Structure 1
Amino acid sequence: MAPPDLSDPDLPRLARKLGLPVMAGLSLNALHQVVDAGFVARLGTEPLAVLSLMAPLAGLVAALGIGIGIGAASLTARALGAADTQMARAVAGLALVTALGLAAGLCSALWLAQAPVLGLLGLEQTDPLAGLARGYFPFLILTMAGSLMQIQCDFLAIGRGASATSLKLLALCFGLNIALDPLFIFGLGYGLEGAAIATLCAQSVTLGAWALWFAPLSRRPCLDRIAPLADMARIGLPEAGSVLLTTLSMMAVLHLALVLGDTATLAALGLALRLLLIVQLPMEGFALGLQPLLAHAIGARDPARLRAVFRYGLRALIGAGAGTCVAILLLAPLLAALLAPGPDLAGQTVPLLRWLALGLPALALRLQVQILLQSRIDPLRASCLGLAPAGWLLWPLLALMLPLLGVAGLAPALTLATLLGGALALWMMRSAPTPFQPREMSHDPQS
């Protein structure tokens, strides 16, 4: 199936055609993570706590993958908007080679630094969780490398408008992963390690399918120029920094839950964060699906089109954020009971989930403004906005609230930081110069 025409005047239909597949793909990701946690929860509270504490490690590598991928997707769409197919192929080659090098280097470094990393997470040698963590860690590292390469393939396809292809292959990966989880975790008796082994098997199959998709000459990656690498970094580094800081902050917050609370506190917060992914990832997916339209409008020098796409996405995302916030507030006990291994843990999860849900409308606003800033290659403001909720806003709030509330202050601090991040996005959207006057429209998209 040929990718859709990014200049199609029927914007609502085109936005749905691009945004909904990416949203569905990340919804499958969220479903996979929740189901994965559900299977591990059957092994007991301690394996669930280890999974919760170590899951953000994957974000350290994924942050770089997302940074490269967003830059590559934006440059690909801009090149196609300027009718430069060779540039689009060159961007793909640079993105994949860069990702492969980073995967090898960073995963090797993590492998060698296993003991210090587990120590930083609070898993000391005498801790009963340490044995589980040591067995799981090597397999987790290998899944990080696979995820980084998959991220590049997904973003490159999205940049070409092939969101449907991305959805199909994400469905293949996550569906196969979910199907293999019970086999490796319970059937073959690998326990917690089995969850990572199932992921490795699913990733191998999916990357093979991506290799076939990139085989035709029209989209085959090449390395005939390296100039786009600078723009790729300028576009993607703010988002990479945002994801990286978010990951480090989540690791630190989960560590605080263990230190200030106990294993059950950690497991409950981990469950609440995973359940919230059911909403967060689809919203991020829809915003990412609209990014090619924003970047294409910039490449085509069409400010009116840029304005229309931005406003359409803003209405859709804020509506979804408000609706799901209400739904989670009402259904939190049911959602917690579906995954928690017992009523006590479910009872601890419910208030955390409700607190976190309050920030969803503000998250929606921040996502859409940040995607626009990335498409406009406005790295300073994009970085400032992206680093706000899990960085320079969160930690002062934790410093104020933890001495007063103890471990009970973790979720309110996370929510308040998200709300303030939404307020910052609103200020940026309304401040001069307006976001509908992109500075780079005067730039050559091939620069």
Structure 2
Amino acid sequence: MAISQGSLPFKQQIDYFKGKVDLPTRAWTDVYAGEHDWAFVVAGASKRALLADMRGAVEKVIASGGTLEQFRKDFDLVVTTHGWQYRGERGWRTRTIYETNLRQSYNAGREAQMADPELRKRRPYGLYRHGDSAHPRPQHLAWNGTVLPLDDSWWSTHSPQNGWGCKCKKFMLSQRDVERQKLQVGPAPKVEYEDRVIGQNSPNGPRTVRVPVGIDPGFEYAPGQSRLSSAVPPLRAYDPLPEPQAGAKSSATAVGLPNRPAPGALPKPRSAPADRMLPAGLSDQEYLTRFLGEFGATESTPAVFKDVTGDAVVIGRDLFTSAKTGALKVSKRGHARELLLLADALKSPDEIWVRLEWMYAQNKAVVRRRYISRFEVEGEPVPALAVFEVGDDGWAGITTFSPDADNPQYLEHLRIGVRLFRRATGGTL
């Protein structure tokens, strides 16, 4: 049986869902509250191909009004195709993915409709209506019948959906509607906050969030509001790598993923032999050959490298060629000697982080994966830091020998977004 959302799927609902970008995660707490306006996630789905197929199954039911049983058939096919070992019982897991995505995309689409200035002039009030949940929450029942101006701040945290399985809804009213239904405008219910610990079983560890009483953690936002507020949400400025970048780094702003404190320190630097530094004075062709050889690629034959999470990165000559001329640009920035350390960051990272960024020029969001590693190279007085970053728009990488490679404050600027991987401490290269 299909979920009753109040109407068949509609343009604003479908557009909202299509505007999301697939973001790999390890736990549901990795992406939180309004971040879902920008990211499509399935907790524990860290491989892009798996996530893309799961997104297709969800988009199919959103666009067509498909049933839970229809979604479950597609879910089973995706799981079998990718060999995904997910947590939780199938019935609960599929219902959670299905209902949450359908309800929140519906609610976000309704919020987009209610943002129309002309419509708001005629119908300036919002009405909270409790749903038909089998086990109603007392606070949600208490909010039933609340009428407030649509610009009242109460709606910013209490616009449905307000918890897992919540079926409450928000409707627009005119002054005549209020009078005819014998309703009263305001005052807003008193908002009390409480601290809740989430992510106790998350690979990235627990954290404390502050939410209004009666609202489940992660639901204390108005669906779609961050998109309506600004085409480019000003959550924080783009956080660059330590040096000017080539390739991927056009003007960008991180979206949806606040710079929360990274969980724990980076693993200690690993020892690396001196021959991981290439000789000086080689030609670009020789540097290229050495780097590609680390992945089994050649100048004429790219290789598909699978990282430690199982995700794929294509390694080939085009990583080091000019998009305009096709000429090699390996040693242009003066770091060709450290190319093997850059390869090591990709092959054997200390951590992998993933995040969304908004590209001004293309007017779209992209996903970037950042591989971070630190090494104590034999014969070098200070540690080496190697960072390899890849996204749909290109790649960038830096290597640097600097005391900052051990500076916790400096390193925290690199560790942003969702952490997908952390290596065990210790070991040598």
Bigger Rg, structure 1 or 2: 2
TM-score for both structures, normalised by structure 2: 0.29
Higher relative contact order (CA 8 A, sep 6+): 1
The structure with the greater share of residues assigned to strand is 2
